[in-house]
Chain A
Amino acid sequence: MRHKTFLAFFAPTAIAMLLFIALPIISVIIQSVHTPHDQVFRIVENCGPFGCKEETTIDQDASAALKEAAPLGKFVGLDIYFDRGHLAISEVVQAWRESATFGEFRKKLGNLPFYRAMAFTLTYTFTVTPMLIILGFAIAIGANSLNKYLKGFVIFFSLLPMIVTPLIGSLILFWMIDSRGIIGTFIQWAAGDPDLSLKASTGLTWVMLIVYGIWSSAPFAFVVFYAGLQTLPSETLEAARIDGASRWQQIKYVTIPHLMPLVTFVALIQIMDNFRVFEPIVGFNAEAHATSLSWIIFNDLSGETQLLASAATTSVLTIICVAILLSPVLVRTWRDFNQKA
């Protein structure tokens, strides 16, 4: 295909992505190094019948003029990146110096919003991903031995937790584990503690979110592995059986190696997706115990005054983290492409 024809076909999508993805990224980066102008104050002497008083007022004209001259705000370099709400460098250094033990240091870090969010996001990502792979694999093995009609039925219901809107899915579970909901009541009964509430404790809130994460993503692993099982070479399996391999050995030495590339694929995709965990935190109303980077951005933007600069800074930090997580995928794609070429 000639360059000109290519451009004609590709231009519409390229323009859409340039205008609404590439430009916003640049805009976000620029916003993250600017802060709104300070108001210009003016001291006026106010004289009344009871004598004169000095009053400080905002000089509206001067403030507006300043805003007119530099609509982006004041250039502050990387200041916002290092402030308390983001990387909090000085607070971290101070906490490190003052802490006798590592545990104490970690506790102090937990009070800083960025590190608090990171702690939850990373725990979430790296517990949910392996567990959903194991669960998905188990369902795929189980479903594969069913008959044809049951398979379709199992796939239909298995898809639901994944297809449903994340916010809606988490709300549905949230209502059930409410201390007056069915699962909440059951847990209270099982633990023998009628006052137990999953929402009140940080640890239990994390468990709840992780369970939701596994519930909603296991179907994806299941479907991918199930499709992989359909291409399992029957000769190899048969050979293993003739050699006297038990069912477990067949799975261990034939099925799992065959599915290994798919496991890597699912793991890479899921690590990226779980890292952006956001809707469950809103749905479970869990922000008091668990936050994520995406949630911090959302919170900055949805307040009474939108903290654009702060949100932009967190956005840039999130993009950097995603890029780090994405690098293995990029390397893989690079290798695949060069092999094909």
Chain B
Amino acid sequence: MSSSVLNRQSTGLRIFSTGFIIIWLLMAAFPFLWTLWGSFKVELDFFSIADWTNAITGDRTIAVHGSAFTGAGYEGAWVQENFGRAFMNTAIVCVFVVCISLTLGTLGGYALSRSGYRYTFWLLMTALIFRAMPPITLVSGYLPPFFEYNVWGYLPTAIIVLVAINQPFTLWMLHSFFMKIPKDLDESAKVDGCTQFQAFRHVIIPVMWPGVITTGLFSFLLAYNDFAVTTMLLNKENQTMVPKIASFLGTTQTEGNVMFAVAAVVSATAPLFILVMFFQRQIVSGLTAGAVKG
């Protein structure tokens, strides 16, 4: 916006608006910083009955470990509870879900954007309805056949299901993205004798990466953040991080276990932090692109 004289804010308004933003930033960021800080303490500091400042100074932590910081929670989660396995599982699930759903979605979204027939509209509408359904409503449909064919509990099963659940959203994003790439581009390639696939391969693929990366980020988030499907479809050994954290909570009785969960939560948030840091622009553009968030 132009910084004309007319646009200048009064001091009172400026203070009010800045204050409001600072309060919002505190609300948005403080819980994460607090939990990160607290994850290096013992449970009696993190949940302190005696004095809340203990969570900052770490009095009990010093009494137990001799220093205000301890990696005991992380050690418990990663070594004792084998959280690394869950981390690897999440990594595998995310990589495959993103790659497969982008491959299928790019082809499908491109076809939808280049076909002028009426049925593309109905396909998009169906996709929209599928996207709106909570994934957990489908789970009771998955279980009997998965048990029958003995594929329940394995990572590939969860990957395929997540890819399918992801498709409607991917199709919508990539469809609206391909609509923005001028049709003349691949039409002229076809005039020069390319088949549709060759036109796609040589003309569209080189220019599609910004849209694909944005869509891929959201596919990644869907796979990474999923709780309903992965909890119901994976067995204990193949659990990804989010169900694993949920299972920590079931056993909160023994002291220290809560700190395992806290450490695991911080570990699982860290990759998302990095993601937002590097891809902030793409996430924002994806959110504003239209058919988004899911």
Q: List residues of chain A with CB within 8 A of the CB of B141.
A: 23-28, 31, 312, 315
Total number of A residues with any Cβ neighbor in B under 8 Å: 101
Q: What string of 1s and 0s marks CB contacts (under 8 Å) between B136-165 and chain A?
A: 111111111100000000000000110111
Residue A171 at the B interface, CB < 8 A? yes
Give, as a whole number of angstroms, the nearest-CB distance from B48 to chain A: 6
B11 interface residue per 8 A CB criterion: no
Q: Does B294 contact A (CB under 8 A)?
A: yes
> Which residue of chain A has its CB nearest to the CB of B29?
A157
**When A167-B227, A175-B35, A294-B134 are in contact, do A16 and B232 touch as well, CB less than 8 Å?**
no
Give Cα distance in the complex from A308 to B110, angstroms.
38
Of residues 18 through 55 on chain B, the ones whose CB sits less than 8 Å from some CB of chain A are 18, 20-21, 24-25, 27-29, 31-32, 34-35, 38, 46-49, 52, 55
Q: How far is the CB of B111 from chain A (nearest CB, A)?
A: 3
Q: Is the CB of B139 within 8 A of A301?
A: yes
From B17, B28, B107, B225, A160 is in contact (CB under 8 Å) with B28
B214 at the interface (CB under 8 A from A): no
Contact A297 B139 (CB under 8 A): yes
Tell which of A16, A220, A315 touches B138, judged by Cβ atoms closer than 8 Å. A315
**CA of A141 to CA of B18 in the docked complex: distance in angstroms?**
11
Nearest CB of A to B283, in Å: 6
Instruction: Kindly identify, within residues 292 to 326 of chain A, every residue whose CB is under 8 Å from any CB belonging to chain B.
Output: 294, 297-298, 300-302, 306, 308, 311-312, 315-316, 318-319, 322-323, 325-326
B76 within 8 A of A: no
User: CB-CB < 8 A to A23: which residues of B?
Assistant: 141
**Measured CA separation A315–B117 after assembly (Å):** 33
CA distance A31 to B142 in the complex (A): 11
User: Is B63 an interface residue when CB atoms closer than 8 A count as contact?
Assistant: no
Contacting A223 at CB < 8 Å: which of B103, B115, B245, B288? B288
Chain B residues numbered 161-219 whose CB sits less than 8 Å from any CB in chain A: 161, 163-165, 167-168, 171, 196-197, 200
Interface residue? A290 (CB, 8 A): no
Q: Which of B32, B138, B163 has the most CB of A within 10 A?
A: B138
Question: Which residue on B lies nearest to A1, using beta carbons?
Answer: B115
**A258-317, CB < 8 A from B:** 269, 272-273, 276, 278-279, 282, 285, 294, 297-298, 300-302, 306, 308, 311-312, 315-316
**Interface: B82 (CB within 8 A):** no
One digit per residue, 1 when the CB lies within 8 angstroms of any chain B CB and 0 when it does not, for chain A 144-166 equals 11100000101111111101111
Complex alpha-carbon distance, A138 and B276, angstroms: 22
Identify the closest chain A residue to B258 (Cβ): A175
Residues of A contacting B221 in the complex (Cβ-Cβ under 8 angstroms): 163
Contacts of A12 in B (CB 8 A): 103-104, 107-108
Contacts of A282 in B (CB 8 A): 227, 246
Contact B276 A159 (CB under 8 A): yes
Interface flag for A252 (CB, 8 Å): no
| List of B residues within 8 angstroms of A146 by Cβ | 18, 21
Q: Within 8 Å of chain B (Cβ to Cβ): is A21?
A: yes
- The 6 A-B pairs with the shortest beta carbon distances in the complex, nearest first, are A24-B141, A20-B164, A9-B111, A13-B108, A180-B47, A315-B137
Q: List 18 A-B contacts (CB under 8 A).
A: A5-B197, A13-B171, A14-B108, A17-B168, A20-B161, A27-B145, A145-B14, A168-B242, A175-B38, A224-B288, A269-B292, A278-B136, A294-B134, A301-B143, A302-B232, A308-B144, A315-B136, A333-B128
Known: A13-B167, A20-B164, A165-B225. 4 other contacts (CB 8 A): A1-B196, A6-B117, A17-B127, A167-B245
Residues in A lying within 8 Å of B, measured CB to CB? 1, 3, 5-6, 8-10, 12-14, 16-17, 19-21, 23-28, 31, 135, 138-139, 141-146, 152, 154-161, 163-168, 171-173, 175-176, 178, 180-182, 185-186, 215, 219-220, 223-224, 227, 232, 234, 237-238, 241-242, 247, 269, 272-273, 276, 278-279, 282, 285, 294, 297-298, 300-302, 306, 308, 311-312, 315-316, 318-319, 322-323, 325-326, 329-330, 333-334, 337
